Amino acid sequence: MIIRYTQSRERCAEVLRAALGHIGQHEACCNPVTFSVWYEYAAGMNAGLSQAIDACLRAKARLGDEAMLRLHREHVADPDLDAVQQINTEMQRVMSGVAANASRTGDSAGSFGAQIDKLAVALAQAASGDLPALLSGASAGAQAMKGSTAALVQQIREGQIEIERLRTDLVRARDEVLLDPLTGVLNRRGFDKRLAALVRQPARDGLSHNLVMIDIDHFKRVNDTHGHVIGDQVIRGLAELLRRSVPDGEHCVARYGGEEFALLLPDTAAVEGMRLADAVRKQVGAMKIRDRRTQQVLTQVTISAGVATLAPDDDPINWIARADAALYRSKQAGRNRVMC
């Protein structure tokens, strides 16, 4: 088990007091999930979590149980260790079966080798009366070894198929930890990993890496007026539109949190990030959310966006902060627009 909390007793007491202060200011129940989120935030030990909570606090949000569960799932909880352990156990079972079969084949080969040695001695002693019996034994041994070898080959083939299946399951389990269950795009954890890798990767000559932060305007009003089912429909619709807008396999879409999304656009011109963000904004403005039963238009939504080009001295936190500041300017200027 990984030990996450290594602070001294005195430091733990300070963090505990700070965490309880945060809990008292918000609506979530004081349970282990809520406590671990606020503890890691107060300790300053989880950069991704701190950024997510700071964004909520800037929006003056009062964080409830649903928000705590999301923050815990995306920034605190470990990957699905049960799935990984199950895959590891099955892998061990497959390899144990191959090893056992190989051992049996080795025993058969050893026995057959002894029979061949006896046959060689008998052939050297041409007059030996044991020759027919030894030849018969060698023939039987050859057949037995052939059968063992064939069984080993089949076992290895089956093992290869099983290992490939387990490898696929392991990749799927790993990927699911990085995906948002509502939209299927990257979640905050997946975004943080991709962003950190991109900061370390030099852009191609004449190009740069661009980050677009996107927020659905007045999303709380959509939830309050039409309910969370329609709200989820809006979020899924925007995610799908964003996914279609970045067909390049190197570009990626992430649900940054709640109604906020992010686009990572490696190796693009700065003007291309602005152009893509504005194209998405126009397409969203044309979207109509309908009642599936009556086809009545329930609401239309708009988005605001901020674009930031990676600067030479940027780290992930600075880059996000600059894109977030551009997004904030978009909202201050009246929403439904893109700022760089």
> What tens digit of pLDDT does each residue of 120-132 get?
555 555 545 565 5
Residue 149 carries which side chain, given as an amino acid letter? Answer: T
Beta-strand runs (E) in 174-273: 208-216, 252-257, 260-268
Helix (H, G, I), strand (E, B) or coil at 326: helix
Q: Residue 224: exposed, middle, or buried by beta-carbon count in 10 A (0-12, 13-18, 19+)? A: exposed
CB 331 within 8 A of CB 304: yes
Cα radius of gyration (the chain) = 31
In 3D space, the residue among 69, 320, 47, 88 whose CA is nearest the CA of residue 189 turns out to be 47
Neighbours of 336 (CB within 10 A): 17
Mean pLDDT value across residues 232-257: 89
Can you say how many angstroms the Cα of residue 214 is from the centroid of all Cα atoms in its chain? 21
Asked if 162 is an active-site residue, the reply is: no
Amino acid 1: pLDDT: 36
CA gap 311, 209 in Å, rounded? 9
More confident residue, 299 or 327: 327
CA gap 145, 140 in Å, rounded? 9
Amino acid 65: pLDDT: 85
pLDDT band at 3 (very low <50, low <70, confident <90, very high): very low
CA gap 134, 116 in Å, rounded? 8
Mean pLDDT value across residues 62-91: 72
Mean pLDDT value across residues 82-87: 57
pLDDT at 117 over 60: no
Please report how many Cα atoms fall inside a 13 Å half-sphere around the Cα of residue 113, on the Cβ side: 6
Amino acid 93: pLDDT: 65
> What tens digit of pLDDT does each residue of 169-190 get?
555 555 567 888 889 899 998 8
Of 7-21, 144-158, 198-212, 238-252, the least confident:
144-158
More confident residue, 210 or 151: 210
Annotated catalytic residue, options 40, 74, 259, 260: 259
Of 9-23, 131-145, 254-268, 319-333, the least confident:
131-145
Q: What fold, for 188-339?
A: Alpha-Beta Plaits (3.30.70)
Mean pLDDT value across residues 91-101: 59
Helix (H, G, I), strand (E, B) or coil at 318: helix
Amino acid 62: pLDDT: 80
Average pLDDT of the chain is 79
| Cα 60–Cα 66–Cα 67 angle in degrees, nearest 5 | 40
